[in-house]
Structure 1
Amino acid sequence: MRILYLSRVRLNPYVDLLARGVEESDPGIQTQRRRTLSWSHILLDPRWRILHLHWIELQYAYGDAPHEEAARNLDSLLRKFARLQKQGRKIVYTVHNINHHEGQHADLNQRANAWIFRHADALHVHNAFTARQVAQLYDRTTGVHIIPHGNYIGVYPQEVPRRAARARLDVPEDHFVYLCLGQMRPYKGLDELIATFLQRRMPDATLLLAGHIPDPAYARQLKRLAGDYPNIRLFPGFVLPEEIQLYCNAADLCVLPYRDATTSGAALLAFSFGSPIIAPAIGPFPELIGANERGLLFHPRERDLGDVLVQARDLPLAEMSRAARAFAEARDWRTLGAQHARVYRELFRN
């Protein structure tokens, strides 16, 4: 059986890790990956039987595509999907996001979701929260498979110890270090995190912020908020794979102050480096954190992020670090790949 993985995301290794896990767990499955789907892939290549789609919004609205172009792209995409299903092929969709985080092309997002959540032969979600969302918003409960997000253990170098990482980032060895790592977008709430950190006036703490900022206006806002405060270190720009260890190993814990979330690869990345997290009590985070075993939750409506930042300094971090790492280790890609392989094979048994 051959599976075609369709994804335009390049920097996140998620799809490559999944494909490798599937092949390792089931030698009877071959995988290939494409960024876009052309008519020639559908009409001239009969070998693949299942299309496993990721991030549907990037298939019709990539980059700064104007609305009219995105609408035409979506029309073409849905025709292709319908055609391949008429050929007897199957569509599996991984729900990374329910809605576009910035609300871009909201009408097209709604139309794409209405089609894919109704017509996909199987839906893959990472947690029970998303399964409930799919049921509530799209009345879909059958063919919905909960398979957790995999870890990033061994994906990135892990050679620089804490003291050396802090020295390279010019962070004082005796500071308590909070980290927010990854692409910086408004829905992730970094503006609120910076303001809250400053309000708490912790002279022996450092806030590290590292990642690409795609929106120039948001970049200016974050730079203005961070100002020249020595305890806030803003590193805008793409983080190289070998640099991830510097930030993760320098930190005491990671802060994910998101305003919206369906799943969180950032949490699994933190856990893979043995870092507990602070996150809002929304979406996937209560399940990820557990009963304060792998971090702390804050409640956005109560605006208690500042209190939780302070409480975190008294946590048993060594114990929580071990729990975070164990949680990540249990989510290895070969085990998860076997679960995906069963979903693929069930589609043709039924």
Structure 2
Amino acid sequence: MLRVMARPAFKNKRRNPYNFLLYSALQRCGVDVREYASSALLSSPWDILHVHWPESLLETGSYLSARWSEGKYLFILDFVRRRGTRVVWTVHDLKPHDLVYPELETRFWAAVLERLDGIIALTQSGLTRAVEGFPRLQSLPAFVIPHGHYRGQYRNDLSRDEARQRLGLAEHSRVITYFGQIRPYKNVPRLIECVRRGDDDVVLLVCGRLSKRANLETELRSAAGEDPRIRLLLEFIADDDVQQYLIAADLLVFPYKDILNSGSALLGLSFDRPILVPNRGAMQELQNIVGSDWVRTYDGDLDEAAIRDALAWAAAPRGSRPQLHAFDWDVIGQQTLAAFQQICGGPAGSGAVDAA
């Protein structure tokens, strides 16, 4: 039985169920998956150490504490790799988003990348950018395994009318929702400005937690002004409430300046909602897989015309739900298991490129 220790594995389910869904699928494939614990990792052999957001280890408070965490983790990586454990990184981002100690975190990121035995990217464009940005990765086994969908993860038992009644939205209003964590690169103030300059019957729901280290709330509230069409829900949305903000929407918009992948886009599609996204690598791939009936892209900066055209497009009838078979978790579990098995097939740190 393949033994995998992951950081995180299951403990972040409430904040982001991605890891829980991935490792639950791996368990169904017969893999022994455990939550990261340094004592357990050091005391017994493991085939794979799977890491996702390595910089989160440094979010420990003081600079001295972060330095201690850096040294401890790099020692652990060196120790377990000498013992035969392969270290695999899933590429969610190409750089830390919320830097507390920029110099330390940049150095730590580079040091972790030097200790990898394989990488998994969520999109082909993400893999290409990762290898271009970090040439050392060219020598590693590399795999493209998509982010899975969220069907069945959240309640989905409201009608559009019921969702709107709960939120106090008029039946005739055209509703746009932005859903997901709010960071500077996600460009939410631009979306607010475009809606305010657009048609009077459009309502915008901005739903999501603010980045812990970017002072965005003032900018968002300034962009919204006193416009009653703009509703800011700058907080974590409870699982049972997720459905109402998505089902009430005619269109979901994700106006990112930069995009490697988007779980929020897949969340919207999981609720059968058309989405508007920038015409950039990962989103082009998503459109190619799901189809232009459900994924619409725009070029350049988001503007009122792009939103107006997308709302008209979203209003057109659709004969079936978006096809998300490529994002099924059991398929993803099998793909991830195959990647781990291939990475374990050679000496640690000496794999050949195998880009899927």
Regarding TM over 0.5, the answer is: yes
Q: Which residue of 1 aligns with 2:42?
A: 43
Q: Which residue of 2 aligns with 1:52?
A: 50
CA distance in 1, matches of 2:319, 2:83: 49
Q: Deviations over 1:295-336 (max 9, x none)?
A: 322233xx343221010122154556846x21x343111110
Q: Which residue of 2 aligns with 1:270?
A: 268
Structure 2 unmatched ranges of 5 or more: 347-356
Per the alignment, in what secondary structure is the counterpart of residue 284 of structure 1? Answer: helix
Asked whether the 8 Å contact 1:177–1:208 carries over to 2, the reply is yes
Q: Deviations over 1:1-32 (max 9, x none)?
A: 221111274510111100111122x22x2111
Q: Which residue of 1 aligns with 2:174?
A: 176
CA distance in 2, matches of 1:346, 1:111: 29
Task: List aligned pairs for 1:1-350, cutoff 5 A.
Answer: 1-7=2-8, 9-10=12-13, 11-24=15-28, 26-27=29-30, 29-34=31-36, 37-38=37-38, 40-46=39-45, 48-62=46-60, 65-139=61-135, 140-141=137-138, 142-200=140-198, 202-215=199-212, 217-290=215-288, 292-300=292-300, 303-315=301-313, 317=315, 322=320, 325-326=322-323, 328-350=324-346
CA distance in 2, matches of 1:238, 1:131: 30
CA distance in 2, matches of 1:317, 1:145: 37
Q: State the number of aligned residues.
A: 337
CA distance in 1, matches of 2:224, 2:44: 52
Per the alignment, in what secondary structure is the counterpart of residue 340 of structure 1? Answer: helix
Identity of aligned residues (%): 28
CA drift of 1:190 comes to 1.0
User: Residues 213 and 75 (structure 1 numbering): CA distance in 2 closer, same or farther, change over 3 Å?
Assistant: same
CA distance in 1, matches of 2:286, 2:7: 27
CA drift of 1:152 comes to 0.5
Q: Deviations over 1:283-304 (max 9, x none)?
A: 411211237343322233xx34
Per the alignment, in what secondary structure is the counterpart of residue 315 of structure 1? Answer: helix
Letter in 1 for 2:7: L
Asked whether the 8 Å contact 2:173–2:203 carries over to 1, the reply is yes
Q: Deviations over 1:255-291 (max 9, x none)?
A: 1111222211111111111112112223411211237
Asked whether the 8 Å contact 1:193–1:257 carries over to 2, the reply is yes
Letter in 2 for 1:32: R
CA drift of 1:230 comes to 1.8
CA drift of 1:98 comes to 0.8
Letter in 2 for 1:259: K
Letter in 2 for 1:43: L
CA distance in 1, matches of 2:340, 2:215: 43
CA RMSD in angstroms comes to 2.1
User: Residues 304 and 192 (structure 1 numbering): CA distance in 2 closer, same or farther, change over 3 Å?
Assistant: closer
CA distance in 1, matches of 2:197, 2:319: 27
Per the alignment, in what secondary structure is the counterpart of residue 203 of structure 1? Answer: coil
CA distance in 2, matches of 1:283, 1:57: 25
Q: Which residue of 1 aligns with 2:352?
A: none
Letter in 2 for 1:295: V
Question: Bigger CA drift: 191-200 or 101-110?
Answer: 101-110
